[in-house]
Structure formats: C-alpha cells, structure tokens
Structure 1
Amino acid sequence: MEWTSILAVYFLIWVMTAFIMLPFGVKTADETGEVKIPGQAESAPVNFRPRKLIIRATIIAIVLTTIYVLNFNYGWIGIEVFDILPKQPGAEPT
C-alpha cells in the first residue's frame, strides 16, 4: 500500500472519529447550572475542549489505520468472510 493511500485512509478515519466523538462529554449551560449569555443557543456547549478531542481522535485514528493497513497487507478479513456474493448457477460449492 502506498504511503499516500495510508495517509488518505488515516485522514478519513480521523475525521470520522472526531465527528463521532464530538457529543461525548460536552455539557450545556442548563446541565452545569451556568448563566446563559443572551442569544446563546440552548444546545451550546459550555465545556468544549478541542485539544482533548484532537488528541483522542489522533490516537484512535492511528490504531484503526494500523489495523486497516495490517489487514490490507496480510488479508486477515476479506469479502469472502461475509458471504454476500451472489451464487453462480452451476458453480461448485466451496
């Protein structure tokens, strides 16, 4: 696998991980009991920490990308495992 492909896969996994992790651990002003600023949305987070999100997303993306690349190179899990290919008429069962 080319290093540019690995970088693209890493970037895609990182973005998905970051978006999935966005709502976890964030509290609104109503939940924390803080006073809202006039015009503030009800769902606006009070304790959003982007640095923590970036670090977590980076670590998870590194692990998942490593697993993906190793699976790509060694072929541990392939499409055959899922048995979703249509059966060919007259083909011998495997």
Structure 2
Amino acid sequence: MKWQSALAIYLLFWAFSVFLVLPFGVKTSEEAGVAMVPGQAQSAPHEFDVKRVMIRTTIVASLLFGIFLANYIFGWVTTETLDWVN
C-alpha cells in the first residue's frame, strides 16, 4: 500500500473517530452547577475542550487504523471469507 493511500485511510478513520469520541466526557451547565445563559439549550455542553477531543480521537483512530493495517498485511479477513454466495 502506498503511503498516500495509508494516510488517506488514516484520515478517514480519524474523521469517523471524532463522532465516536464527541459524546464522552461532556457535561451540561446543569451537571456542572453553572447557571444557564438565556436561550441556551439544556443539552448544550458547558465547556468544550478541543485539545482533549483531538487527543482522544487520535488514539482511537490510531488503534482502528492499526487493526486495519494488520488485517491488510496478514489477510485475516478477505473478500473470499466474506463471499457467502458460494
């Protein structure tokens, strides 16, 4: 696999992982014990830490990409194993 292809696949894993990581560790203003701003939704997060989300996302994406790359190299799951028509 070319390094450009590996980078593109890693970036796809990273973009997908953002949506997996976002809901974890979020507190609403009510849970944080802070008064809500007028017009604020009750479910809105009190504080958003971009650095923490990026670190968590990078860890999750790296693990998923590592599994993908190991499968690519060792061939654990191939199209032949997924072919149920036979």
TM-score by length of 1: 0.79
Measured against aligned partners, the alpha-carbon deviations of 1:38-83 in whole angstroms (never above 9, x if no partner) come to 1212211013211111011112212221221221122122233345
Partner of 2:31: 31
In 1, the alpha carbon distance for the partners of 2:22 and 2:60 equals 14
Question: After the TM superposition, which parts of structure 1 deviate over 4 Å for at least 4 consecutive aligned residues?
Answer: none
Query: 2:60 aligned with 1:60, yes or no?
Result: yes
Q: Alpha carbon RMSD of aligned pairs, Å? A: 1.5
Sequence identity, in percent? Answer: 44
Amino acid at match of 2:44: A
Structure 2 gap ranges (5+): none
SS at match of 2:6: helix
Partner of 1:91: none
| Correspondence 1:46-57 to 2 at 5 A | 46-57=46-57
| Correspondence 1:1-80 to 2 at 5 A | 1-80=1-80
Choose 75-84 or 56-65, whichever is displaced more.
75-84
TM-score by length of 2: 0.86
Answer with 1 or 2: which has the greater Rg. 1
Aligned residues: 86
Structure 1 gap ranges (5+): 88-94
Aligned-pair CA distance for 1:7: 0.6
